[in-house]
Amino acid sequence: MSDQWAEATSADGKKFYYHKVTRVSVWEKPDELKTPQELAAGSSSSSSSSSSSSNGAVSSSSGAASSVPVSLPPNWKEYVAENGKKYYHNAITNETKWDLPTADNLHNNNNNNNNNNHNNHHHHHQHHNNNNNNNNSNGDEAPSTTTPTPTPTTYEPNSKEASIKMFKELLQSHDVASSWSFERAQRVIINDERYQVLKTMSERKSAYQEYMVDRKKYEYEEKKKQDKKNREALIKLLKESGEVTSSMTWRRASLYFDGDPKWMAVESEREREDLFRMVVIDLEKKEKEDKDLAKRDLMKQIKAKFEVNLTITSRTQWRKVKEEYENDALISTCDKYEVLQVYESYIRELEKKEDEAQRSEKEAAKKEARIHRDSYREFLNEKYNEGEIHAYTRWKEFYKKYQSHPIVVQLAGQVVGSTPLELFTDFIEELESRYEKDFKRLKTMTQDVNFLFSPQQTTLDDFKQSISTHDKFNSISALNIVPFFEYLKEREEKKQKDSIKKRQKAILNFKALLEDTRTISKHSKWEEIKPTICKIPHYTDLDDEEEKAKIFQEYLDFLSQEESDEEGIIKGDDDINARKEFSSKKRYSREGSDNITDDRKRKESKH
């Protein structure tokens, strides 16, 4: 029937015909589509070929399909290859043979053909490849399973997804836009054989809707790209145009560029105005930058004039140098306030340079002081190793001995950093921390060997020889023996001083005891007074009996001199001084004693 055939155009522009049911493509117009005149002309030309009329087939040298002869099984058609040899093709099973198919030789292959029939729908007819294999001695060999002719391609996807994809590609190949209706698109693509890959109209419309979604996204992205290009082109137009300045108004620009393709390519007037104002802002910025750059260059020239003036220092005021530049050609043309700003900036730079110079000097002084401190510490450590300094060395002793040494003089003369005394104190503290452990050991060793120290007789060598017999002697640092010896010496000297002070105090207390005893007169005897005061603590504090008797006698002499003064007898200067010396001693009360009288109150009452 004529409605089962469709006319289409190949990629090279040549027409061919496609059967919608059998999916066979032919170059020659089928009889169903021919007019009566075309049929009459075709029958007259076919009668001239006796071989073709005897078989009832209508063929062409180009490989076009002929009508199925009566002797051919159903669904088989006869074709002629380019080399003139006939072959046969089944459009249903997609099988091609060189031999004439019959019902008998096809019966054995029916099962295989039926099982594989659904897998062969994607094969299509192609031109026969005329090569040496087709013309060899085995002429009965079946041609390739691919139909040799005609050239137009048939489409038989093997899945639903592939069919939808092919249909979308069909729409895309015809550049179907998102604004098209399905009916409009159908009129364009209906004659394309890919239109038949989807069998029903609902499937086609569903695939069409999916295509529309993708197409809208694609067109949106393309529009964005194009809009961006249009905006960039308009910006370039405005920037390159000599008419556009920072003072140009939007109204003047819209009149000047109206009709320009680049101007009109940006459809939104609001967007054109925004782009124009953006360009104007950029021009204003550039003009401001150029103006600032010119101003900076001018300020640099003014500053250069100040720099060559050696009389200007960080403390020079502008009013003192202003007259020098009143007639200057460059400065006279500038704003006075700007010139003053440049001058103040230059003064700040000078101050900064001076501060940096002072800072550098201080850093150099600190560095030098650090060197002197290190040298001084090395000097102290050297003296320590030589045994001249130890943990008990005093600053007065050290300074008296080394005050004229160059290292000490250098450190004492610096104005920054630690002084020689501070570093010496730190060094002695370090020695004391090292000496502490050895001190305990030396103290134990001294007790173990029963060493007795005598300040006037014992020497350092005697001490070393005495403790050298101890089994822990080798664990002691030799440098710590000297300070320990000094410690023993100072301890004994302190004991002696304390003993002297204690004796002196006991004498004073004993004298006060005699003064506070009212029973004593110038006629008293020591043997009589002694029993009355022997139990008082101040009496026992002084353990020297001869000293007590001597002091008692001195007190009796004092009483005799005191009574002589009261009677108006003038004594010599020495006696008067002795009396005053004895009476000037502090008196101590005798606690718990009944015979103590406050002589001071008595004497004060007499006067």
* SS3 annotation, 372-397: HHHHHHHHHHHHHHCCCCCCCCCHHH
Residue 323 lies in a domain: yes
523 and 436 part of one domain? no
Mark which of 431, 454, 485 sits at the end of a domain: 485
On the question of a cis peptide bond just before residue 483, with omega within 30 degrees of 0, the verdict is: no
Q: Which two tokens stand for residue 517?
A: 């005893």
Q: Which run of H or E residues covers position 496?
A: helix 481-516
Q: What are phi and psi of 17, to 5 degrees?
A: -125, 140
CB atoms within 10 A of CB 565: 13
Q: What is the pLDDT of residue 120?
A: 38
Residue 105 lies in a domain: yes
Mark which of 156, 178, 205 sits at the end of a domain: 156
* 3-state secondary structure (DSSP) of residue 483: helix
How far is Cα 218 from Cα 86, in angstroms, rounded to an integer? Answer: 50
Contacts of 76 (CB under 8 A, 6+ apart): 68, 88, 89, 90, 101
Of 60, 61, 58, 71, nearest to 31 (Cα)? 58
How far is Cα 444 from Cα 472, in angstroms, rounded to an integer? Answer: 10
Q: Do the beta carbons of residue 380 and residue 387 sit within 8 Å? A: no
132 and 38 part of one domain? yes
442 and 542 part of one domain? no
How much of the chain is in helix, strand and coil states, percent to nearest 5? 60, 5, 35
Cα 329–333–338 angle (5° rounding)?
120
Long-range contacts of 582-586 (CB under 8 A, 24+ apart): 582/511, 582/554, 582/555, 582/558, 583/558, 585/508, 585/511, 585/512, 586/508, 586/512
430 and 308 part of one domain? no
423 and 383 part of one domain? yes
**How many H helices and E strands in the chain?**
22, 6
CB atoms within 10 A of CB 165: 14
What is the biggest distance separating any 2 CA atoms in the chain, rounded to whole angstroms? 200
Residue 491 lies in a domain: no
Q: Which run of H or E residues covers position 90?
A: strand 86-90
- Beta-bridged to residue 86, according to DSSP, are 80
Residue 490 lies in a domain: no
Q: Do the beta carbons of residue 8 and residue 191 sit within 8 Å? A: yes
Q: What is the pLDDT of residue 83?
A: 62
Containing structural domain, residue 49: 2-156
468 and 402 part of one domain? yes
- Beta-bridged to residue 97, according to DSSP, are 88
207 and 321 part of one domain? no
Q: Do the beta carbons of residue 481 and residue 463 sit within 8 Å? A: yes
Q: What is the pLDDT of residue 513?
A: 84
11 and 148 part of one domain? yes
Q: Which two tokens stand for residue 174?
A: 């015809």
Q: What is the pLDDT of residue 567?
A: 53
Domain count, the chain: 6
11 and 151 part of one domain? yes
Residue 371 lies in a domain: no
Q: In this structure, which amino acid lies at residue 127?
A: H
312 and 351 part of one domain? yes
Residue 399 lies in a domain: yes
Start-to-end C-alpha separation, the chain: 173
Q: At what angle do helices 182-189 and 160-173 cross, to 10 degrees?
A: 90
Cα 272–274–275 angle (5° rounding)?
65
Q: Which two tokens stand for residue 258?
A: 């109206």
Q: What is the pLDDT of residue 30?
A: 83
How far is Cα 6 from Cα 568, in angstroms, rounded to an integer? Answer: 175
How far is Cα 418 from Cα 90, in angstroms, rounded to an integer? Answer: 115
Ordered mean pLDDT values, 10 residues apiece, the chain (607 residues): 73 72 75 75 50 37 38 73 71 72 54 39 36 39 42 57 91 92 92 89 92 94 93 92 91 91 91 93 93 90 90 90 86 87 92 92 89 92 86 88 90 85 90 80 82 78 82 79 81 83 86 84 85 84 84 86 60 46 44 39 43
How far is Cα 332 from Cα 546, in angstroms, rounded to an integer? Answer: 110
Q: Which two tokens stand for residue 502?
A: 């204690």
Q: Do the beta carbons of residue 79 and residue 148 sit within 8 Å? A: yes
**CATH code assigned at 187:** 1.10.10.440
How far is Cα 43 from Cα 32, in angstroms, rounded to an integer? Answer: 14
Q: What is the pLDDT of residue 82?
A: 59
Mark which of 156, 171, 204 sits at the end of a domain: 156
Contacts of 374 (CB under 8 A, 6+ apart): none
Q: 138 — alpha (psi -120 to 50), left (phi > 0) or beta?
A: beta
465 and 551 part of one domain? no
Q: Do the beta carbons of residue 59 and residue 67 sit within 8 Å? A: no
Of 523, 515, 521, nearest to 593 (Cα)? 515
Q: What are phi and psi of 153, to 5 degrees?
A: -90, 140
Residue 36 lies in a domain: yes
Q: Which run of H or E residues covers position 5?
A: strand 5-9
Q: Which run of H or E residues covers position 16?
A: strand 15-19
392 and 527 part of one domain? no
How far is Cα 77 from Cα 100, in angstroms, rounded to an integer? Answer: 10
Of 58, 108, 112, 48, nearest to 80 (Cα)? 58
How far is Cα 527 from Cα 417, in angstroms, rounded to an integer? Answer: 72
Residue 41 lies in a domain: yes
